[in-house]
Amino acid sequence: MAISIKLFANFREGRGKIVQMDYTPGMTGQDVIDALGITAPEIAAIIVDGVDGKVDAMLTVPVKDGGYLAIFPPVAGG
C-alpha cells in the first residue's frame, strides 16, 4: 500500500501537490519529510491522518497504511 502526502504553498515547488510514497511498517512523519528533503523547522503545521498537533510530536506518530499527511510551511492571513 501507499501513503499520500499533501503539500502546500512553497512545499509544492519541485514536488507537486500530492506525493505518493510506499508504506513501510513503523514509518513516521520524520521518515516522510526526510524522503522529501523537508526539515522540521521549515514546517509550521502538520496533520497526520486527520489529527494535528505540535510538529515535533506529530513527526514521531506512526503513519497508517493507506493514510495521509498534510504538511504546511508558515502561512497566515485573515
> Interface residues for other proteins in 6-35 (CB under 8 A)?
6, 8-10, 12, 17
Q: Which span sits near other proteins by CB under 8 A: 19-27, 29-37, 45-53, 59-67?
A: 45-53
Of 21, 38, 40, 45, the residue at the interface with other proteins (CB under 8 A) is 45
Q: What is the 3-state secondary structure (H, E, C) of the chain?
A: CEEEEEECHHHHCCCCCEEEEECCCCCEHHHHHHHHCCCHHHCCEEEECCEECCHHHHCCCECCCCCEEEEECCCCCC
- Where does this chain bind other proteins (CB under 8 A)? 6, 8-10, 12, 17, 44-45, 47, 50-55, 70, 72-78
